[in-house]
Amino acid sequence: MLGLRVASAAVGLPIVLGLTIAGGRWFTAAVAVILFLATLEFQASRTGWRHPLALGAAGWAAVLAVAAHAGGDWLLWAGTGLVVLPLLWVTLTAPAREGLEQWLWAVGGVLYVGWLGSHIVLLRQGPEGRDWVLLALLATFATDTSSYFVGRALGRHPMASRISPGKTLEGSLGGLLFGATAVILLNYFLGLRKEAALIVPVALLLPLAAALGDLAESMLKRGMGIKDASQLVPGHGGLMDRLDSVLFTTVMLYYYVLWVVA
């Protein structure tokens, strides 16, 4: 399993980094496809992969990524459509006692994956967007990977057994430490070179956001009664399993850059 995880990362990481560096429409298109598939994973746990509501929700998650790229009022209109269109669908097709649950499930999945995921595009389009997205992705991967390996080597004390029995306090602390170190190093090597007053809070907040994002997705999967969102990423589970931390870190970093750095 470990070899498969490493092989998947070795293939996928250069592609992700290359698309991030390229930016523009290629980057947005890639994010849209990823959000489509990840949202479909979320919906499929309840309705199956081919259900019209699942496909519609996944499609709308992709629309949010494109709307984020377009800017202006497009994202606002896409958010309005997210509320209205699934509601109209269940009103016209669902049994009365199931309509509310179906609507909440569809909207919740798109908000979680699509709305949060659209911030990746927003961050890439902002000032120094390429470097901030690279920092977010690489520091998140450093946090997750170090948490995994430190937990395997030194983990003794469960941290959140109610949600994820495999997570340990030692692994989480290792992830926070290595994640913070990665932020500091990436700030220098990516050329951002932000002063300590700006980058130290990121070094503290980003690994914490990554850990919370991982826990949040674990909680959702327990509610769905599944271990992995799918098997789309060999050795890692599904795309939703790979996005869980990134969804939280890019949102945190986008608003930090918007409100504090800019």
Q: Is residue 15 part of a domain?
A: no
- Note whether 117 and 140 are same-domain residues: no
- Note whether 228 and 161 are same-domain residues: yes
CA dihedral over 107, 113, 116, 119, signed as positive or negative: negative
Nearest to 34 by CA among 58, 14, 54: 58
Decide which of 83, 105, 125 is a domain's last residue.
125
User: The domain containing residue 209 runs over which residues?
Assistant: 127-262
Q: Is residue 190 part of a domain?
A: yes
Q: Is residue 96 part of a domain?
A: yes
Prediction pTM value = 0.94
Do 179 and 210 contact (CB within 8 A), yes or no? yes
The number of helices, as runs of H, and strands, as runs of E, in the chain is: 10, 2
- Note whether 107 and 142 are same-domain residues: no
- Note whether 32 and 59 are same-domain residues: yes
- Note whether 137 and 260 are same-domain residues: yes
Decide which of 74, 107, 125 is a domain's last residue.
125
134-153 burial code (b ≥16 CB/10 A, e <16): bbbbbbbbbbbbbbbbbbee
- Note whether 177 and 48 are same-domain residues: no
Query: How many domains would you assign to the chain?
Result: 2
Strands (E), the chain: 158-160, 164-168
Q: Is residue 142 part of a domain?
A: yes
- Note whether 142 and 111 are same-domain residues: no
Decide which of 103, 125, 147 is a domain's last residue.
125
Walk along the chain (262 residues) and give the pLDDT tens digit of each residue: 566 667 677 778 899 999 999 999 999 999 999 999 999 999 988 888 888 899 999 999 999 999 999 998 999 999 999 999 999 999 999 998 999 999 999 999 999 999 999 999 999 999 999 999 999 999 999 999 999 899 989 988 888 778 887 889 999 999 999 999 999 999 999 999 999 999 999 999 999 999 999 999 989 988 887 777 677 776 667 888 889 999 999 999 999 999 999 8
